[in-house]
């Protein structure tokens, strides 16, 4: 990810982990991936799944 390239590896990994967790649950996927969320709601899920220290 770009964050890794820019020297923010911890933040990049936090986003990647949050993304993997969100996509693993059908309830937190966007409609194009079989879920019911829109992009704004999906972004909110990702933010909630990220640890406080990476924000």
Q: What pLDDT tens digit does each residue of the chain (55 aa) get? A: 799 899 999 999 999 999 999 999 999 999 999 999 999 999 999 999 998 764 4
- In degrees and rounded to multiples of 5, residue 37 shows phi and psi of -85, 150
Q: What is the DSSP letter of 37?
A: B
Q: What integer pLDDT is reported at residue 52 of this predicted model?
A: 77
3-class DSSP assignment, residue 21: helix
* Helix (H) or strand (E) run with residue 3 in it: helix 2-5
**pLDDT score, position 53:** 61
């Amino acid at each position: 990810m770009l964050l890794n390239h820019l020297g923010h590896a911890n933040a990049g990994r936090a986003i990647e982990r949050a993304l993997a967790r969100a996509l693993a649950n059908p309830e937190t996927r966007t409609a194009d991936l079989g879920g019911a969320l829109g992009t704004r709601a999906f972004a909110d899920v990702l933010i909630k799944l990220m640890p406080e220290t990476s924000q």
